[in-house]
Structure 1
Amino acid sequence: MSRADGDYGFTAGERVYDVIVVGAGSMGMSAGYQLAKRGARVLLLDAFDPPHGEGSHHGETRLIRHAYSGGDAYVRLALRAQQLWEEAEALTGERLLAKSGVLNLADPDVHSHRGRYWDAVRLGVSVEMLDAADIRRRWPGLALPDRFEALYEPDAGYLFSERCVAAYRKLALANGAKLLTGTPVIGVTARAGRASVHTPHGDYHAGAAVLCAGAWFGGLADFLPLPIRPLRKVVGWFETSGDDYREGTLPGFTMATAGGVYYGFPDIAGMGLKIGRHDGGHPWRPGEPLAPFGRYAEDEGDLRGALGTFMPGAAGRLLRGSACKYAMTPDEHFIIDRHPEHPHVLIAGGFSGHGFKFASAVGELLAEMADGAADGAEINLFALSRFNPAPAPVHDH
């Protein structure tokens, strides 16, 4: 992929790369590594110093599941992602993944996992359907009404999110990528075979660009307006009693209830059970301060209410809380595509609160696209053109 500076038509002395990655969070850092590994001269730009708390990757943990609604492409991408996370573990010597299993709980009056179960079986994913009695017997800390059921994925688990970003940073730099932190992007321009990225510290140029701006895509709207709506979201860590909620006993979990859709993690090393609410949230705009945890009564109230109802032994003292950002699309599917007028500019965004688990595979996919590989089924599912007309939400998490 590497080319001489003159091949892109820039003059001698300009800051020229093969690929510029805008946004070096989970998706961008993974893409930067994959591109550099293929021999590209890569520049990664980030307004902060990843891993950091200004995007969507902080807060210690993220679920990784393989049984998914929304199409087979998700399942294939999730399975590939886990392979790549394990590869990154081996390359860096860091523990990035805990195979705790994931328990997807649901009130069937609200949501059913049965279609997802049969899709998973067909694609070779290890899954079990459990009724409420099964669930209570295996995880006695859960207080569930008899109508509840669950889809259990024994081979799933959770990722240590900041470690994952740090691991890909280490790998990207080891393969020759350059990372500029504290470098916000104020604009992007493109013409045939060339892309320029404008920052307060000067302009950078490349034959291709990959835009992974997360909740900050609004700042690039002059170049490409996207149907991405940033939302403020919160998570909290709560004190637990007994051993029913500890790591090694309680798996990662999701809960679809009449009072909301939640997700969470066991109490890891006595730091508290972590829980967040997937639906709801408050709008946020790039450049605005993000209200800290506790600004709204529902920040703690919603989380404590769900725990008190379904995991009463985990509804203890609030140990800490954190606010982060979702980047939502209208249908909650991702956007992974080429710019409609500049095919050498790739876009990856709108990961809608359920994208982190895929970051390793999305980075690989973006590198393949930048290297000229044919776009496959994943790109059809995540195409930007689908928003005319706007589809209905899928409500996955």
Structure 2
Amino acid sequence: MSGTYDVIVVGMGGMGSAACWQLARRGLRVLGLERFDLGHAMGSSHGLNRIIRLAYFEHPSYVPLLRRAYELWREAETLTREQLLFITGSIDGGPEGSHVVEGSLASCREHNLPHEVLTAAETAGRFPGYRLPEDYLAVFQPDGGFVASERAILAHTGLAIGAGATIHAREMVREISPRSGRVVVTTDRASYEAGRVIVSAGGWISDLIPALKGKAVAERQVLGWFQPKVPALFTPERFPVSNVLTDFGHYYQFPTWGIPGFKIGLYHHLHESGHAESLSREPTPRDEEILRAGMSRLFPDANGSTLRLSACLFTNTPDEHFVIDTLPGSPDIIVASPCSGHGFKFASVVGEILADFATDKRSPFDLSLFSFDRLAA
């Protein structure tokens, strides 16, 4: 063996880097393994930032996790003296009765979140960058915003190293094998042993966890940044992050930040799924065309010249909820992905939850929505 640890974390993206920090700060011997460079652009967390929002249309059960996530993002900011969480407010828009609007309202009402329901005209009056169809509604929640995702991974990793963790980049895991109460992790460089292993390998997770083959499927996404025609309308002070469901796609948006352009994406983009290695990272004219289709109709004052296009991966389960659980039959292996394209905002709290799993501490959260067993049906 080349090393023995209390916990090995496979994959140093959003979830893995946070888990390494939480484990190391508890005094455990931790090894983090990353097959690419730290902060690489092959997975799911690059492109500068990711939306965070409390009004969670996907399911009200996520809201308690989000509240803790906000606390932990703020703690990481304090410790690193770097801003990672930016508050702009959030909008969930769509036709009245749509799952985005009704789901957002359900979370707000169940958890007593401050919110307003705006008509399309009211939305445009308050946030002039928006041009929703006249019969749409928008749920505005003031606590939404975005996390600086690339910086957050580096921040968590730095905190983990500062607490004593060992991190290896450019080292690919080939096999994870339970053996007599321990787990052996074999890479292209060495073998390591630990009491517990956390697997947070994103689009490559089914290579390491065969039970997820066909149930954790990578999907190609492309994000675009465009130079606004009216830049003043798309600053963080005047443009809330948003999800807008339309009959021509479900778009998500960010104000200008980092790159001097309006950022937009489309869920399920061109419906291109497959193995993480087979999906192209090179944007195409068709990618730009489909992003402009939404921008021209919903945010016409943002529809200027192209500044950047960037491909990333979502790794989806059939129901698009996460997997956060021990591996059936192998309780010393903890699975922490896929996150189905909406997971990064939770990275801070998932790291804490994974540390609880690895130390046999009962989580205060209801994690039944993320059980492994549900995928067996």
Structure 2-normalised TM-score?
0.95
1:121 aligns with 2:109: yes
Match of 1:8 in 2: none
Match of 1:136 in 2: 124
Change in 2 beyond 3 A, CA 1:311/1:76: same
Query: Of residues 252, 255, 276 in structure 2, which corresponds to 1:266?
Result: 255
Is residue 236–residue 275 contact of structure 1 (8 Å, CA) maintained in 2? Answer: yes
2: CA distance, partners of 1:319 / 1:112: 29
Query: Of residues 209, 224, 240 in structure 2, which corresponds to 1:236?
Result: 224
Q: How does 1:283-362 map to 2 (within 5 A)?
A: 283-288=273-278, 290-294=280-284, 297-362=285-350
Cα shift readout 1:181-215 (whole Å, capped 9, x = no counterpart): 10000111003420011111110100110000001
- 1:156 Cα deviation from its structure 2 partner: 1.3
Secondary structure in structure 1 of the residue aligned to 2:109 = helix
- 1:145 Cα deviation from its structure 2 partner: 2.0
Is residue 141–residue 244 contact of structure 1 (8 Å, CA) maintained in 2? Answer: yes
Secondary structure in structure 1 of the residue aligned to 2:234 = coil
1: CA distance, partners of 2:160 / 2:300: 44
Structure 2 residues not aligned, in runs of 5+? none
Deviates more, 1:283-292 or 1:81-90: 283-292
Change in 2 beyond 3 A, CA 1:142/1:224: closer
Is residue 188–residue 223 contact of structure 1 (8 Å, CA) maintained in 2? Answer: no
Query: Of residues 210, 234, 244 in structure 2, which corresponds to 1:255?
Result: 244
Secondary structure in structure 1 of the residue aligned to 2:197 = strand
Is residue 81–residue 360 contact of structure 1 (8 Å, CA) maintained in 2? Answer: yes
Match of 1:216 in 2: 204
Q: How does 1:1-397 map to 2 (within 5 A)?
A: 14-108=2-96, 110-222=98-210, 225=213, 227-242=215-230, 243-268=232-257, 271-280=260-269, 281-288=271-278, 290-294=280-284, 297-374=285-362, 377-389=365-377
Partner amino acid, structure 2, of 1:246:
T
Deviates more, 1:100-109 or 1:176-185: 100-109
Secondary structure in structure 2 of the residue aligned to 1:113 = helix
- 1:298 Cα deviation from its structure 2 partner: 3.0
Change in 2 beyond 3 A, CA 1:148/1:28: same
Cα shift readout 1:269-299 (whole Å, capped 9, x = no counterpart): 66110000012431131333624011xx430
Secondary structure in structure 1 of the residue aligned to 2:31 = strand
Cα shift readout 1:288-327 (whole Å, capped 9, x = no counterpart): 3624011xx4301111011111111101111110000001
Deviates more, 1:111-120 or 1:364-373: 111-120
- 1:54 Cα deviation from its structure 2 partner: 1.1
Change in 2 beyond 3 A, CA 1:34/1:226: farther
2: CA distance, partners of 1:190 / 1:272: 48
Secondary structure in structure 1 of the residue aligned to 2:61 = helix
Is residue 282–residue 311 contact of structure 2 (8 Å, CA) maintained in 1? Answer: yes
Cα shift readout 1:307-352 (whole Å, capped 9, x = no counterpart): 1111111011111100000010000000000011111110011101
1: CA distance, partners of 2:339 / 2:316: 7
- 1:247 Cα deviation from its structure 2 partner: 2.3
The percentage of aligned residue pairs carrying the same residue is 38
Cα shift readout 1:346-382 (whole Å, capped 9, x = no counterpart): 0011101100000000000000111102356532110
Is residue 184–residue 199 contact of structure 1 (8 Å, CA) maintained in 2? Answer: yes
Structure 1-normalised TM-score?
0.90
Change in 2 beyond 3 A, CA 1:200/1:99: same
Change in 2 beyond 3 A, CA 1:237/1:289: same
Is residue 91–residue 138 contact of structure 2 (8 Å, CA) maintained in 1? Answer: yes
Secondary structure in structure 2 of the residue aligned to 1:186 = strand
2: CA distance, partners of 1:51 / 1:264: 23
Partner amino acid, structure 2, of 1:374:
R
- 1:107 Cα deviation from its structure 2 partner: 2.4
Is residue 110–residue 258 contact of structure 1 (8 Å, CA) maintained in 2? Answer: no
Change in 2 beyond 3 A, CA 1:277/1:122: same
Query: How many aligned positions are there?
Result: 375
Cα shift readout 1:77-124 (whole Å, capped 9, x = no counterpart): 111101100110000011101111111121236545234314323313
- 1:221 Cα deviation from its structure 2 partner: 4.0
Is residue 218–residue 286 contact of structure 1 (8 Å, CA) maintained in 2? Answer: no
